[in-house]
Amino acid sequence: MVLDPAATAGLGDSAAPTLAARHGPPLCSCPTPTPALRCPRGARRLSETGAVMRRSEGAGMRGGLRAAASLPHIARGRGEEGGGRRSPCLLVALRPCNVEAERERFFRASFAYDPQFEYAEPVPAAVLDKYAVASDRFVAQAIRIIRAVLEKYGTYESFEVATGGRLLSKCQIWSVIRKYMQKEGCVGEVVVQLTDDLLSQAVMMVEDSRPTLAINLAGARQHWLEGMLRHEIGTHYIRGVNNTRQPWHSSEGRKQYSLKPANPTEEGLASLHSVLFRKQPFLWRAALLYYTIERASRLSFSALFQDLEQYVQDAGIRWEYCVRAKRGQTDTSQPGCFSKDQVYLDGILRILRHRQTIDFPLLAALGKVSYEDVNRLKKFGVLEKARIPHFMQDLERYMKQLDHIVTTNCLNEEELEQLLPD
C-alpha cells in the first residue's frame, strides 16, 4: 500500500543507536503514543462500520483518539480514480457470496458434496491465472511441521487450546490492540475493525483511503493476538510507512532500481513475526496452508476435505482451509487451487535459510523490498526517521528466536541450504 506523506507525520526524532552506527543517518524509535483507546460501548458488528476506533456520535470518547477523518490518508495509485469505497482486499473480494448457504448444504450432505460458489463480482481472470499453479517444492517440510505438532499435542484442537489460549472478548481485544499500538507508536493511525467475514486471521487493507486492519474474531486468542499484530502492524504497516520515504515507492521507482518482488519476503517475514516469541513457535498454519493448496490442485473440494481429516478433526476448521484453497473456483468438483497462500511457508524458509546474512532492521527500514535487494539498496535508502518494529530493538534476542523457530519446526541448516542453494 502507498501511504501519503501525512501517514508518517509526527514521527519522533530519537535515534536507534545500533542502526545509526552501522548505516549512517539516524533511525528513530516510534513516537510517543497518544492516550489509550477505550472499548466502545454498544458497538455494532464492526465489519459494518466505516471506522471503528472513532468518537461516538454526539459525545467525545475519553482517551484522545483521532477522528476517522484525521487518520493517515492513503494516496490512490494510477488507474484508481473514481469515487466510492474500493474493494477492501483480495481476500475479501474472493470470498464466495453464498459461502454460508453452501456450507450448510455441504454439512447436510455429510461432506459428500462439492460446493458451487458464487461471487458478488466476476473474479479477474488475470488474478486466477496468476495463482492457478501450486508448488510441491516444500511439501515434505510442510508435512514434517504438521506431524511435529500432532506428535507433541495429539490433535490440532489440543494445540490450539494449549498454545493459543482462550478466545478473547471484544473489550479484551481492544485492550491488547491499544497496548500494542502504544509499543509501535501508532495509536490513532490505523482504523481497526473486528469481523467474522474474513477467510484469514487478519488483514491490512485500504478502505476509504485509510490504512485499515480487519481482525477475525474467531482467531483472536489470548496468546496469539499480539503475534497477529506483529504480523499486520509490526511488519506490513511499518514497512509500508517506511516504503513511502524511499525512491522506489512507486512502480516506476521499483523498475528504476530493478527491485525484485516484495513477496515472498514480505509474507514470510510477517509470518515469522506471528510466532516469534511463542514458547512453541510451530509454523502450523503456514505449513497446513501450503499442503492444503498443493492437494487442492489435484483434488475436488470433498476429496480435499476428507484428505485433511488426517491432520484436522474439526470439520469447521477443515471447511475454512478448503474454502481458502478453492476460492475463485465456481465448480469445486474439479481439481484446482488458489495458490497465493503458499507464499507464507515459501517466504519463511527463504528467510530462515539466509537469516545469518540478512540485516533485519534495515530490511524493515527500506520498506517493501526483498531481502535479496537489501545490501544493494542500502546506499540509496532514506533511513532518517525510519520506523523499526519495537521487537527488533533487541537484535540478539530476535536472532535467538529465529534459531528457536528453526529447531522447533524440525528444520536444519544443511537441509535449507540444499533446498535453497545460493
**pLDDT tens for each residue of 18-28:** 344 444 433 44
| Cα 281 from chain centroid (whole Å) | 16
Strand partners, 204: 213
Burial 338-361 (b: 16+ CB within 10 A, else e): bbbbbbbbbbbbbbbbebeebbbb
Is the confidence at residue 72, as pLDDT, over 50? no
Residue 278 has pLDDT above 60, yes or no: yes
Has residue 89 got a pLDDT over 80?
Answer: no
What's the rounded Cα separation, in Å, for the pair 83 and 69?
16
Q: Among 144-158, 186-200, 248-262, name the one with the lowest average pLDDT.
A: 186-200
- Asked if pLDDT for residue 129 goes beyond 80, the answer is yes
What pLDDT band is residue 112 in, cutting at 50, 70 and 90? very high
Q: How far is it, in rounded angstroms, from Cα 275 to Cα 277?
A: 6
Contact residues for 35 (Cβ-Cβ < 8 A; gap 6+): 63, 64, 187
Give the whole-angstrom CA distance, residue 258 versus residue 333: 42
Categorize the per-residue pLDDT at 197 as very low, low, confident or very high, splitting at 50, 70 and 90.
Answer: confident
Share of the chain above pLDDT 70, in %: 77
The candidate with the shortest Cα–Cα distance to 324, out of 54, 363, 46, 312, is: 312
**Residue 29: is its pLDDT beyond 70?**
no
Check residue 71 and report its DSSP letter.
S
Task: Please name the residue that has the C-alpha cell 461432506.
Answer: 111
Residue 36, pLDDT > 90, answer: no
| Residues annotated as catalytic (active site), given as ranges | 232
Tell me what the mean pLDDT of segment 9-35 comes to.
37
pLDDT above 90 for 281: yes
> What is the residue-averaged pLDDT of the chain?
82
pLDDT attached to residue 204: 83
